Amino acid sequence: MNTIPLAQELWEGIARHFDSITQVLCEFIDNSVSNFEGNNVTAKTIHLHFEQQKNGDITIQIEDTGTGIEDLEPVTQPLARTRAR
C-alpha cells in the first residue's frame, strides 16, 4: 500500500501534540516498528530521506515496508499504533 498524506494537512494535525520535529520523527518511526511487530512483517526496512530546499526548508520523507496506514486520523494522535487487528 502506498500511503502518501498531504504534508501540510498532516503537520497541522500533529503539530499541536508535539514540541519538536524530533518528537514527530520518533512517533512515526515508533509507529513503523510497532507495525512490523504487530503484523509479523518479515522485510523490516525504514527509510528516512532529508532534503534541503532552495528556500531553506527541509523536506522529510519516511517510508517503511509495513502494512500501510488505512486511517491517518489515529496517526495524528500521540502513542497511536497500527498493529494487526
Kindly report, residue by residue over 4-48, the tens digit of the pLDDT. 666 666 666 666 677 788 888 888 898 889 889 999 888 999 999
Residue 63 CB neighbours (<10 A)? 14
Measured in degrees and rounded to the nearest 5, phi and psi for residue 51 equal -140, 125
- Considering only CA atoms, which of 8, 32, 7, 28 is closest in space to residue 18? 28
Beta strands in the chain (DSSP E): 46-52, 58-64
3-state secondary structure of 19: coil
- Beta partners for 64? 46
When mean pLDDT is compared over 5-9, 74-78, 81-85, the highest value belongs to 5-9
Give the per-residue pLDDT at 84: 47
All three cell numbers of 30, joined, read: 515508533
Q: pLDDT higher for 54 or 15?
A: 54
All three cell numbers of 60, joined, read: 522529510
Q: Is the pTM of this model over 0.85?
A: no
